[in-house]
Chains A and B, each alone.
Chain A
Amino acid sequence: MNIDLSQFHQVFIDEAYEHLGTMEQLLLALDVEDPSLEDLNAIFRAAHSIKGGSGTFGFSDIASLTHALETLLDKLRKQTLAVTDEMISAFLSCCDLLSAMLEAHQDGSPVDEAQIEVVRAELLRLGDESVVLAEPPAASETTYAEIESVTAPIWLIDLHPQSDIFSGAASIDAVSEDLAALGQLSVINQQPNSHISWRLQGPEDPDVISEIFAFICQPSEVTIQPELRDDAVEEDEGFGFFVDEAELPAQQAQNEAEQGFGFFVELDELPANQAAAQEQQQGYGFFVDEASLPVASSSADAISNQPMQKSQVSLAQKNRSETPKHQAETSIRVGVEKVDQLINLVGELVITRSMLAQSASQLDSVEYESIHNGLVNLERNSRDLQEAVMSIRMLPINFVFGRFPRVVRDLTQKMHKKVRLKLVGEETELDKGLIEKLADPLTHLLRNSIDHGIETPEIRRAAGKPEEGTITLSASHQGGSILVEIVDDGAGLNREKLLEKAREKNLAISENPTDKEVWQLIFAPGFSTAKEVTDVSGRGVGMDVVQRNIAEMKGQVEIESIPGVGTTIGLRLPLTLAILDGMTLRVGKEIFILPLTRILESFQPEPEQLKTVSGKGRVVQMRGEYLPLLELYKTLNLEPEVTEPEKGILVVVETNSDKVALFVDELIAQQQVVIKSLETHYRKVDGISGATIMGDGRVALILDIDKLARMHSTDNQLQKG
């Protein structure tokens, strides 16, 4: 039977992403002190599923890496090994790697083979060395035999000089370079007193290697030995003795395994002059060999050698179609465009229904009772349908939050800070479009909080705070919007430093700026108060990008900060990009939509409330405040019904910087509208953020208040000029 398996590759890859996601989540949640057996089992199952799938579909590189992962997990799950932080880190980097490998299989991008090797070596070492603590689990050793073969010999070079030879003329780099010229080199261990271990794959003859060291140290100070797959006893004649493990008798495999992790108990079997560090290398060196091989060839070999039916698997990987790289939770995968199409169709249905209702309203309600009843039902059903369809686009914010425990973990380790991330309100639902756009700004803010906000443990202790900083990431519904907050208990923003920096950069600041104004400074492009640029943050690009991204989502950024107590950055976002709660208003014959969230109040002014400033701009006085009067008909060149504000109505709206009074003919009604882009078939229009389709099928434009206010002030300036 010859089925083309490539058609299932996409399914496998999607599933694998899902498993990886689950795994990462569980790993991060795992309590190292007291790991839950259930979680360990779940992690194991995820790894196992990936391994099984990858084996079946011929992704043998993935299969062999997950095999190593699974082996270690198996020991954890059987409680023959205790979980350590180191293991979690190794698991996580393994997850990353697997994810990269999946991507590679999907679009043919290259995989960092050295990285695979490093990770697998790490996994195996962790699995091996700690087995000393418990009896060796018999089941897992034989499975080593499933892994593969070697071509070029591998040498473990251990330099253990009596004195610090590299402090003089000789340089570590020069030696490494010489070694690297011989083959594939990796540094295994480097200690301060010139004690270094390398792992080199390539040369057939160890003399080549010893020649390099002849100039820098005594022959006794360097040990070169092959990385063994077999008994240590065979070490001397073992050069090039690298047979396929699958062919080894099971007993031999057992030996290897025992020796592998037995670097403490089996000391007597090793040559006495070998240093302990070397044994350790050897210990984990046993099983890493095949990892260093080019993945493609080794995996193909491995498969054909395995006594499984994998060799029948078609290795063809035709299915490299471009697919979205996002990782979804258990669900049906539907293209966003299909959902959008559905939303459009429902919108059409609603419009058609209101047209029907309009026609039917002319019919006698007694004679045509059934038609009227039907229309009422239709209305209810179509509204339900609309809501249901809209909800497809909504996803829990956990989709973005979920990645942050990992980000925080990586960053804190890098920066030697202690930070605990608390997630609140992860189940809050948000439009998919927003969720995707939220990821980058949030990552940035989080990085900032860790880098600039949270102090080092020493400083924190000195300030009487717990060493471990806390960052709370919360999401909640607030009225028609969603509030995402990043709260840290770090040092807070430094007002003086910000002002100083602003002066340095010649930014416009008022005489006596309020805190709020000072905090806004951090959004200026190129503004950074970090003393030095780290690879995490401090380059000053970022906050301005954050603000721009949030503004694009029609959201706002709010900052609160108390020195020494912490900083809160709030992102206020609309619930969805697809629907808008709007107020319909009329100017002349034109209907416009104003976002409801921006409206503060509306009123009909008395003539005496209106004042003219320098003969041009008009302001309206409202409870002691003077608001600029924005006459919509002038800004948008319309023919209004009334030109006197006291005959029309003023809507006080909040812009991103100020408040303005918008003068319109009439407010009509509040209604939810579906936002449509003007740019799909036309282009961006000043003062208009989008369009929608009204009940009668006509198009109404949605006003962009911020832009209108800017247009208004430029108009006034032009008039003055």
Chain B
Amino acid sequence: MTEETQDNPLLNQAGEYLTFTLGDEEYAIDILKVQEIRGYDAVTRIANTPDYIKGVINMRGVIVPVVDMRLKFHLGNATYDQFTVMIILNLGQRIVGMVVDSVSDVVALKLDEIRPAPDFGASFDTQYLLGLATVGERMAIVVDIEKLMTSQEMGLIDQLAGV
């Protein structure tokens, strides 16, 4: 999390976004945080973790955790087949895999296209939302993915107090 995004959340929003779907909802994340998109494969389960943490995978020698967003936010059906996609996110020092229903598009969004989000309407806590955007006919929920993934709620990172 850079200070810029905290100080002025609007600053980082102009740019390209990757949109993906979870159930009926369409989400958008900053494409610069995306390292790659790959199929769901060979995930090693980790004991005694919440169900949405699917386990870890081997990403070219690096052990990377995988989160199923469908389970985390109870959206869509969590099925795993050859069409299941995983977005590999590169969040500063950390790499995280995120399972979604499907990846849709890469869209360019300008500042004024992203409107502030109301307090409801998404499964995500609004503190992780940057706003709502209209993409063609559809509406995309723009998510601050780094803030979400590094949050305590996701349990992906040892919180200082918990160590």
Listed in ascending order, the chain A residues whose CB lies under 8 Å from chain B are 344-345, 347-348, 590, 635-638, 676-688, 691, 693, 696-701
> Are B46 and A685 in contact, CB atoms less than 8 angstroms apart?
yes
Closest-by-CB residue of B relative to A344 is B61
Residues on the B chain within 8 Å of A696, using CB: 42
30 pairs of residues in contact across A and B, judged by CB atoms under 8 Å: A347-B61, A348-B60, A590-B45, A636-B48, A676-B61, A676-B62, A676-B63, A677-B63, A678-B63, A680-B62, A680-B63, A680-B94, A681-B62, A681-B63, A682-B64, A682-B157, A683-B158, A684-B158, A684-B163, A685-B49, A686-B47, A688-B46, A691-B56, A691-B63, A693-B63, A697-B42, A697-B58, A698-B58, A699-B42, A699-B55
Asked if A678 meets B158 with Cβ closer than 8 Å, knowing A638-B47, A685-B47, A701-B44, the reply is no
A684 to B57, CA, bound (A): 16
What is the distance, in angstroms, from A330's C-beta to the closest C-beta of chain B? 32
8 shortest A-B CB distances, which residue pairs?
Answer: A636-B47, A682-B65, A699-B44, A683-B158, A344-B61, A698-B42, A693-B58, A691-B63
Q: Which of B44, B96, B156 contacts A700 (CB 8 A)?
A: B44
Closest-by-CB residue of A relative to B97 is A681
Residues on the B chain within 8 Å of A688, using CB: 46-47
A691 to B47, CA, bound (A): 13
> Are A590 and B48 in contact, CB atoms less than 8 angstroms apart?
no
Closest-by-CB residue of B relative to A632 is B47
Given contacts A696-B42, A697-B58, 8 further A-B contacts (CB under 8 A): A590-B45, A637-B47, A682-B65, A683-B155, A691-B44, A693-B61, A699-B57, A699-B63
Tell yes or no: B95 within 8 A of A by CB.
Answer: yes
> Are B48 and A698 in contact, CB atoms less than 8 angstroms apart?
no
> Are B61 and A345 in contact, CB atoms less than 8 angstroms apart?
yes
Residues on the B chain within 8 Å of A347, using CB: 61
> Are A678 and B56 in contact, CB atoms less than 8 angstroms apart?
yes
Residues on the B chain within 8 Å of A676, using CB: 61-63
Residues on the A chain within 8 Å of B45, using CB: 590
Q: Which of B46, B58, B156 contacts A701 (CB 8 A)?
A: B46
A344 to B63, CA, bound (A): 11
> Are A687 and B47 in contact, CB atoms less than 8 angstroms apart?
yes
What is the distance, in angstroms, from A10's C-beta to the closest C-beta of chain B? 27
- The residues in B between 39 and 55 inclusive whose CB is less than 8 angstroms from any CB of A are 42, 44-49, 55
A635 to B47, CA, bound (A): 8
Asked if A637 meets B63 with Cβ closer than 8 Å, knowing A678-B56, A691-B56, A697-B58, the reply is no
Closest-by-CB residue of B relative to A700 is B44
A681 to B44, CA, bound (A): 15
> Are B58 and A681 in contact, CB atoms less than 8 angstroms apart?
no
What is the distance, in angstroms, from A347's C-beta to the closest C-beta of chain B? 6
Residues on the A chain within 8 Å of B48, using CB: 636-637, 685-687
A686 to B64, CA, bound (A): 17
> Are B61 and A681 in contact, CB atoms less than 8 angstroms apart?
no
What is the distance, in angstroms, from A688's C-beta to the closest C-beta of chain B? 7
Residues on the A chain within 8 Å of B64, using CB: 681-682
A464 to B163, CA, bound (A): 52
What is the distance, in angstroms, from A146's C-beta to the closest C-beta of chain B? 52
Residues on the A chain within 8 Å of B57, using CB: 699
> Are A682 and B61 in contact, CB atoms less than 8 angstroms apart?
no
> Are A698 and B61 in contact, CB atoms less than 8 angstroms apart?
no
A687 to B157, CA, bound (A): 17
Closest-by-CB residue of B relative to A682 is B65
Closest-by-CB residue of A relative to B155 is A683
A698 to B47, CA, bound (A): 16
Residues on the A chain within 8 Å of B55, using CB: 699
What is the distance, in angstroms, from A429's C-beta to the closest C-beta of chain B? 25
What is the distance, in angstroms, from B39's C-beta to the closest C-beta of chain A? 13
Closest-by-CB residue of B relative to A347 is B61
A590 to B56, CA, bound (A): 13
What is the distance, in angstroms, from A283's C-beta to the closest C-beta of chain B? 60
Most chain A C-beta atoms within 10 Å of own C-beta, residue among B60, B61, B64, B163: B61
Residues on the B chain within 8 Å of A680, using CB: 62-63, 94
A347 to B157, CA, bound (A): 26
Residues on the B chain within 8 Å of A685, using CB: 46-49
